[in-house]
Amino acid sequence: MRLLIVGTLEGHLTTAGRIAHARGAKVSHVPDGSAAMTALRAGQGADLVMVDVKQDIAGLIQSLKQERFHVPVIACGIGSDAQSAVRAIKAGAKEYLPLPPDAELIAAVLEAVVEETNAVIAGDAAMQRVLKLADQIAPSEASVLITGESGTGKEVLARYIHRKSKRSGNKMIAVNCAAIPENLLESELFGHEKGAFTGAVARRIGKFEEANGGTLLLDEISEMDLRLQAKLLRAIQEREIDRVGGAAPVRVDIRVLATSNRDLQAEVKAGRFREDLWFRLNVVNLALPPLRQRPNDVERLADHFARKYAETNGLDYRPLTPAALDKLKRYEWPGNVRELENTLHRAVLIASGDEIAPDAILLTSPSVAAPVVAAAGAVSAPPSIGDEARTTPTAYGRGGGTTGLVGRTVEEVERDLIIDTLSHCLGNRTHAANILGISIRTLRNKLKLYQEAGIPVPPPGDGDRALA
């Protein structure tokens, strides 16, 4: 996690920073609230702000709220000064920590922030079984393969395992194998030496070395090229890597977690994934159930996202009406938790009144949902959704089922499905690709063809500009 310290902490700055760093935090320091805002605006980022009680805490928290930086603030001061503590809490600080800093107290605060930031919401029995197994294997050094449909929360579970592991005090580095072009992925993973190829102007440390002592997450590993899979297998087996252009191997100490939304056993049979690599990764397999198989989590997830996006957008929290909840529970969720999150984000923005009503819950039409599930390799019953969705004409439905598709080419249907899914994801290329069950590279290529043909394409969503 990233800790930003504001002020001098009464001369205890070095001690507090050293304790936090020893607990795995990346620590930075600024002299005052104004400098803190400048650092955050510049993209430095922070998961927790620790502020000297003599600073203008109220002003800093107000600035954070106005500019929508959602970072918990902890006030610090000498001893147990009750008046200072009360003022800090009234100003909006989450906690007051007495100085000199106590190592265990700081560790507890850091752990609480991490737990809150990376919470796994799981009340359904199907999901709790997965978490029970994750708890059992987390302290080990075994490689773990996390599988499940797109949007089920594979990366969230990977971070949960890292936090529960013996390596939790060190870094967890994630690499999205689907989002990085094939010719760059090798350098991204293993690094390169100066002059190894055109544009290699200096040595670069790869993700394996960056994660040394910690955990490396290989997200959507099924998208990796076969040639690179061979090099990855050697790195995992021998615990050493070769930088591109390097003269000698480099030893690394990491634990590998991998995710895939595909059936890797089927990929092995099709010759698209190495069997020996699959065996090496699949020491433990955690299969995440789709959201439709964990119905008891829909309500608590929906409430979580309603609170999250109300805060993110500077709006008051509004609960969902019983009718809105019923609409959510009767939907099949082909995009799983990610689709539910996008749906609630949109609902928070467009809802009117003191509650989120059914008319703010805009769901994917049934004729769009069916091909998405099939594309992910799953077969399920027709979606169970509200009557209003069954009768709503869509680009495909016009009466439901596939009848409305007759007379249209496969290319036309695919194009409209891709563009509609992208609109549903508010332009986010990564989310759309995951829901569609295709790689981000394939999606980019198709969107480029559509744009060249003069077909309007939704612009990239926030945080996804680089993938446009």
Domain end (from 93, 117, 141): 117
Answer yes or no: do 110 and 7 share one domain. Answer: yes
Query: What does each C-alpha distance from 288 to 129, 149, 461 come to in angstroms?
Result: 10, 8, 27
- Domain of 412, in residue numbers: 292-467
CATH label of the domain that carries residue 220? 3.40.50.300
CATH label of the domain that carries residue 102? 3.40.50.2300
Residue partners of 56: CB distance under 8 A and separation at least 6: 33
Read off the amino acid at residue 154.
Answer: K
Structure tokens at 66: 């106005």
Answer yes or no: do 272 and 138 share one domain. Answer: yes
Answer yes or no: do 69 and 94 share one domain. Answer: yes
Answer yes or no: do 460 and 358 share one domain. Answer: yes
Number of structural domains found in the chain: 3
Describe the strand order of the beta sheet including 215-219 as a list of residue ranges. 172-176, 215-219, 255-260, 144-147, 284-287
Q: What is the pLDDT of residues 354-370, one digit of tens each?
A: 999 999 999 874 533 33
CATH label of the domain that carries residue 462? 1.10.8.60
Answer yes or no: do 226 and 363 share one domain. Answer: no
Answer yes or no: do 192 and 230 share one domain. Answer: yes
Answer yes or no: do 93 and 195 share one domain. Answer: no
Answer yes or no: do 440 and 302 share one domain. Answer: yes
Answer yes or no: do 40 and 173 share one domain. Answer: no
In contact, 173 and 214? CB cutoff 8 Å: yes
Answer yes or no: do 365 and 446 share one domain. Answer: yes
CA dist., res. 336 & res. 148, Å (int): 10
CA dist., res. 169 & res. 158, Å (int): 15
Question: What is the model's pTM?
Answer: 0.62
In contact, 342 and 335? CB cutoff 8 Å: yes
pLDDT tens, per residue, the chain with 468 residues: 678 889 886 677 677 777 777 766 778 889 999 999 988 877 677 888 988 888 899 999 988 887 767 788 888 887 666 777 788 888 888 888 887 777 777 767 766 666 655 668 888 999 999 999 999 999 999 999 999 999 999 999 999 999 899 998 788 888 999 888 877 888 889 988 888 777 777 777 888 988 899 999 999 999 999 999 999 999 999 999 888 888 788 899 999 999 999 999 999 999 999 999 999 999 999 999 999 999 999 999 999 999 888 877 778 899 999 999 999 999 999 999 999 999 999 999 999 889 999 999 998 745 333 333 333 333 333 333 333 333 333 333 333 345 456 667 788 788 888 988 888 777 888 878 877 878 888 888 889 888 888 888 888 865 454 444
Domain end (from 265, 287, 309): 287
In contact, 146 and 258? CB cutoff 8 Å: yes
Answer yes or no: do 275 and 420 share one domain. Answer: no
In contact, 144 and 286? CB cutoff 8 Å: yes
Burial-class residue 233 by CB neighbours within 10 Å (0-12, 13-18, 19+): middle
Q: Encode 183-209: b = buried (16+ Cβ within 10 Å), e = exposed.
A: eebbbbbbbbeeebeeeeeeebebbbb
Answer yes or no: do 306 and 281 share one domain. Answer: no
Domain end (from 250, 269, 287): 287
